[in-house]
Structure 1
Amino acid sequence: MAAKGKSKNNIAAADEKKSVFSPTQIKNFVGEVKTEFLKIVWPDKKMTLGLTGVVVVLTVVISIYLGSVDLLLGKIVSSFLR
C-alpha cells in the first residue's frame, strides 16, 4: 500500500516538473528574461529622437498622399454618379 502512495507522489512531482505554469518554471522564465534584457543595447537619446522624427514625417507625408487620392477618387466617383 505504501508503494502506491509513493508512486502517486512521484507522478505528481513529475507532472509539476513538466508543467509550464509551475512556480519554478515561471521563476526560471523570469530569470531568463531578465538576463536577456541585460544584453539589449538601447539606442541613445539622439538616435531615438531622429528615428521618431523620421516616423512622424513619413506619417504626415503618407497621410497627405492618401487623403489627396481619396479626395480625387471621391470627386471622380461623384461625377460619374450625377
Structure 2
Amino acid sequence: MAGKAKSKKSNAVSKDNTPSPFAPAQVKKFVEEVKVEFGKIVWPDKKMTLGLTGIVIVLTFVISAYLGSVDLLLGKLVASFLR
C-alpha cells in the first residue's frame, strides 16, 4: 500500500508556469488585443450597408414565400392522399 502512495506522487503531472487564461492580467491583455484588432476593421459605408440590408430583406421575403407555397402544396397533396 505504501508503494502505491509513492507512485501517485511520482506520476503527478508537473505544471509549467503559464498563467491562467482567466487571470486579470491575461483578461486585460486580451481586451487590449481586441481593441487593436477592432481598429484594423474597414467598416462599409452607409450606402453599402443599406444596399446589402435591402438584399437580405428581399431574399428573406422571396425564400419565405417559396417555402410557404411549397408547404401549402405539399399539405394539400398529403391531405388528398389521406382521403
TM-score by length of 2: 0.78
Structure 2 CA distance for aligned equivalents of residues 36 and 16 of structure 1: 28
Root-mean-square deviation (Å): 1.7
**CA deviations over 1:27-81 (Å, ceiling 9, x no partner):** 1000000000000000010000000000000000000000000000000000011
Tell me the residue number matched to 2:52. 51
Structure 2 unmatched ranges of 5 or more? 1-15
Q: In the alignment, is residue 60 of structure 1 matched against residue 74 of structure 2?
A: no
* Residues 1-82 of structure 1 mapped to structure 2, 5 A cutoff: 17-82=18-83
| Greater share of residues in helix | 1
What's the % identity of the aligned pairs?
75
Asked if the contact 1:20/1:26 (under 8 Å) is kept, the reply is yes
Structure 1 unmatched ranges of 5 or more? 1-14
Q: How many residues in Structure 1 have an aligned counterpart in Structure 2?
A: 69
Q: Report the AA paired with residue 37 of structure 2.
A: E
Asked if the contact 1:16/1:22 (under 8 Å) is kept, the reply is no
Distance 1:31 1:16, change over 3 A: farther
Name segments (4+ residues, structure 1) moved above 3 Å: none
Structure 1 CA distance for aligned equivalents of residues 65 and 79 of structure 2: 21
